[in-house]
Amino acid sequence: MDKSAIIPAIIAFVAQILLCPICIPLLHKLKFGQYIRAVGPKEHQKKAGTPTMGGIMILISLTLGVVLFFQFNSQIIAALLVTWAFGLIGFLDDYIKVVKKDNEGLKPLQKWVLQCVVALLFVIYLWRSDIGTAIEVPFASFEWDLGILYYPFAFFLILAFVNGVNFTDGLDGLASGVTVIVAAFFAVVCWGQNSNLLPMASAVAGSLLGFLLFNVNPAKVFMGDTGSLALGGFVTALALMLRIPLLLVIVGFIYVLEVVSVVLQVAYFKATHGKRLFRMAPIHHHFELGGWKETKVVSVFVIITAILCLIGLLAL
């Protein structure tokens, strides 16, 4: 078995379970507690004050998993940089919310501009690399060369999935549970392709497994935008560099469902002058308000992701 599929995951996992017991009390002491919106499900109000910004620990542990394996290449460096860049945007947003006591965090325009800058820089990297503009078509034995259209496609994909992962982070263990499955899928793909990105995918999977020990219901820590935006950067970076962005729509269906539910809710609300398509968006809240327990929503979404990842492997 390829050591790059195992060692980075173990290092990241161990780093995570060592960091969390140290950092969670520190986050408590610094009063980096989560603000819970009054418009959300009432059951969530009891979560107010739970430490957030746990994404810092995800970033540190996954980086250690890669760095301590001592295997570097331009693709791993690019994946790490885009993951950290989106994580830093999330950190700034979280910092304004919990430290500056501004519930809005970054203004929507500020967040959008920063995300666009990082996405554009990564697209420029793709343009200058030897990855090319051809992408694999699921369930087909050929590649589709998008030519110049590849770059706006990549830019849109990055923004869509970064925000999709961000919207998914609304229940204990949801974003981390879904993404650990997606990361494991990427690790299998990397192994099959003999890709240099295998240590990165493995490290993220190991990091999230460790984080889940403290993030499952009842969560002792939340990843915050620091974690969710970073993970969004990770999934899109690997999908694009492995040339399987269309597969991301399958294996990352939950991310798609979450962001589409928000877009449809807003559009329907405006078109009907106040009516709602869902009980609440993102859609995980729709199921909650329909009577599902939080743990059931998380379990179902994670199981769906696991099944779709198996289908994704068949589609290669």
Helix H or strand E encompassing 94: helix 74-98
User: What is the average per-residue pLDDT within 275-280?
Assistant: 92
SS3 8: helix
SS3 201: helix
| 134 φ/ψ angles, rounded to the nearest 5 degrees | -90, 140
CB of 197 within 8 A of CB of 79? yes
pLDDT category of residue 100 using cuts at 50, 70 and 90: confident
Closest residue by Cα to residue 190 from 138, 252, 237: 237
> Which amino acid belongs to residue 257?
L
Distance of alpha carbon 50 from alpha carbon 35, whole angstroms = 8
pLDDT digits (tens, 9 = 90+) for 115-137: 999 999 999 999 999 999 999 99
pLDDT category of residue 28 using cuts at 50, 70 and 90: confident
pLDDT category of residue 34 using cuts at 50, 70 and 90: low
* Tokens read off for 208: 């999230």
Q: What is the DSSP letter of 2?
A: -
Q: What is the pTM of this model?
A: 0.94
Helix H or strand E encompassing 143: strand 143-145
Lookup result for tokens 């999709």? 164
pLDDT digits (tens, 9 = 90+) for 47-98: 677 888 999 999 999 999 999 987 778 999 999 999 999 999 999 999 988 8
| 214 φ/ψ angles, rounded to the nearest 5 degrees | -110, -5
DSSP string, 222-254: --HHHHHHHHHHHHHHHHHHTT-HHHHHHHTHH
Mean pLDDT estimate for the chain: 92
Distance of alpha carbon 242 from alpha carbon 244, whole angstroms = 6
pLDDT reported for residue 119 = 98
* Tokens read off for 101: 């006591």
Mutual angle of helices 198-215 and 224-241, in 10-degree steps: 150
